A = this chain, B = another copy of it.
Amino acid sequence: MNKRRGLLVVFSGPSGSGKGTVLKEAMKMSDNLTVSVSVTTRAPRVGETDGVDYIFYSKEQFESLIQKDGFLEWACFCDNYYGTPKERIEALLSEGKDVILEIEVQGAMKIKETCPEAVLIFNMPPSSEELKKRLTGRKTDADDVIKKRLDTAVWEISQAEKYDYIIVNDRIERAAKSFLSVIEGEKCRPLRNRAVLEEYK
């Protein structure tokens, strides 16, 4: 039997919902998760490592890969490209790894279109009050910056119903467990168990 194909998981959630922390905790609990590294044309920031934080491409390299249909999804923010490279993800899925794409809502919707087998999970903050507290926390920020950040978060949450699953990050350990349960549960879908059913035909 071939190695069982891994699951492609899209993980989104507003800034302040604690996606990174949930993911880190989940990766402590399971050794089958891999977070996909995005490709970008923006300049590396201090402390960022090529291939770890991002894969850094020149604009020409990026556009050439677009031409070759080499991205699962890509977008342009503030004159910089960001994208999810197809080939590497396919290789990981074939190895049986569960691949996590930590991307924002528009990217997630593109993945849902191009990869219907992908599982979309949305990370919710513990409460609207707590979200507000976290996003207004840095007092150095101007009021309009804070307002924009809050508006974006509320818009993103309004899109959560388009996701397959919602995780409420009220306790990190519990949220991480829910994350892993969603993945384990999805692996029990009949369409992912064709080989098992075929045996009896």
A binding-site residues for B, Cβ under 8 Å: 121, 124, 127-128, 154, 157-158, 160-161, 163-168, 177-178, 180-190, 193, 196-197, 199-201
Contact = CB atoms under 8 A, between A and B. Distances in A.
Contacts of A158: 200-201
Nearest to A197: B160
A200 B180 CA distance: 26
B200 A154 contact: yes
A193 B165 CA distance: 9
Contacts of A183: 185
In this complex, the member of A154, A178, A186, A193 whose beta carbon has the largest number of chain B beta carbons within 10 angstroms is A193
Contact of A190 (B154, B161, B200): B161
A31 to B, nearest CB: 16
24 contacts: A127-B199, A128-B199, A128-B200, A154-B200, A160-B190, A161-B190, A163-B190, A164-B189, A165-B185, A165-B188, A165-B190, A166-B188, A166-B193, A166-B197, A178-B184, A178-B185, A178-B187, A181-B182, A181-B188, A182-B185, A182-B188, A183-B185, A184-B185, A185-B185
Contacts of A165: 185, 188-190
Contact of A188 (B154, B178, B197): B178
Contacts of A185: 165, 178, 181-186
Nearest to A156: B200
A188 B9 CA distance: 15
Nearest to A192: B166
Contact of A181 (B180, B193, B199): B180
Nearest to A175: B188
Contacts of A199: 127-128
A161 B197 contact: yes
Contacts of A128: 199-200
A23 to B, nearest CB: 15
A193 B169 CA distance: 13
